[in-house]
Amino acid sequence: MEVILLKNVDKLGYANEVVTVKPGYGRNFLIPQGYAILATVSAKKAHEEVMRQKSHKETKLLAEAQELAAKLAEVNVTISTKAGENGKIYGSINTIQLSDALKAAGFDIDRKSLKIKDEPIREVGSYEAEANLYKGVKQAVKFAVVAE
C-alpha cells in the first residue's frame, strides 16, 4: 500500500514523501492519525503539482535571500546609545536595537534571525553579528556602537 506522508514519521520517512507500508499500518494508524493520505492516482498528481510549486517558490525565496545577503555585506550600521566617559554603555546592546537600526537602514530583518557574536555588548566599539536569512543563507553584519 502506498501512502503520501503529511508529517514526519520516525523510522518511515519525512513529510511529502511517497512510501510503501503494510495495509494494516496505513489503514489503522497512519491515515486515521493524520500522518498520511492514500496515494491514489489523483492524489499523486496533486502531490506532484504541489511539490513543483513548492520547489519553484523555494528557489525564488533563496534568490531573494542571496540578493539581500549581498546588499547586507556592504552596509555598516551605527547604533547610538548613552555611555559613560570611559566608553561603558548604560545597559547593553542586543538584537532588538540591531534590528531597529537595520530597519532604519532599509533592511527588514527579524530580530530572531540575528545573532550577535560578542554578546552582551557593554562598550562602545565595532562589532559583528550574523543574520540567518534563509536555509543555508547567512550573512555577517557589521555595526558600530557609538555614544550619544
Measured CA to CA, the distance from residue 125 to residue 127 in angstroms comes to 7
- The residues, any chain, with a CB within 8 Å of residue 51's CB and separated by 6 or more, are 16
Average pLDDT, integer, range 89-118: 89
* pTM assigned to the model: 0.66
Domains in the chain with CATH codes: 2-61 (3.40.5.10), 66-147 (3.10.430.100)
Average pLDDT, integer, range 100-104: 92
Measured CA to CA, the distance from residue 73 to residue 135 in angstroms comes to 18
pLDDT digits (tens, 9 = 90+) for 48-92: 999 999 899 989 999 998 998 898 888 889 999 999 888 898 888
Measured CA to CA, the distance from residue 108 to residue 110 in angstroms comes to 7
Return the pLDDT at 33.
95
| pLDDT above 90: residue 46 | yes
| pLDDT above 90: residue 137 | no
pLDDT band (50, 70, 90) for residue 111 = confident
Q: CA-based diameter of the chain, in Å? A: 75
Percent of the chain at pLDDT above 70?
100
| pLDDT above 90: residue 5 | yes
